[in-house]
Amino acid sequence: MTKDSLRHDPLSIAEDWIGEGREVAIATVVETWGSAPRPVGSHLVIDRDGNFEGSVSGGCVEGAVITEALDVLDSQQPKMLEFGVADETAWRVGLSCGGRIRVYVERLG
């Protein structure tokens, strides 16, 4: 990785934010089925103020993941989230492509 790419790597950003004393959660795509916008291993880091870097899906799914990440920071309990077209909320959260994703959200630090 180049120095420039490290500045955009969500894991490096999470490490920097923790070093700055921020509370940080990370969301990781752990499973996909069908058409999914981001591959397994994709990350989104979120701080207590709702700042975020990276991507786990795009669109409204990321808004839902950010909201859940703030809950994880409050509760200190990790969560497994699943989004897909079979869910009644699929069209609302942006997975109308027919795929499904599973995202694990946990607190770091």
- Number of domains forming the structure of the chain: 1
Are 95 and 84 within 8 A, CB to CB?
yes
**The token pair that represents 93 in the structure block:** 């959260």
- Among the residues of 1-109, which ranges form H helices? 3-8, 10-19, 59-75, 90-93
| Residue span of the structural domain in which 12 resides | 3-108
Question: What letter would DSSP give residue 28?
Answer: E
> Tens of pLDDT along 49-86?
999 999 998 777 899 999 999 999 999 999 999 987 55
Q: Can you give the pTM of this predicted structure?
A: 0.83
Amino acid at the residue 106: E
Are 44 and 56 within 8 A, CB to CB?
yes
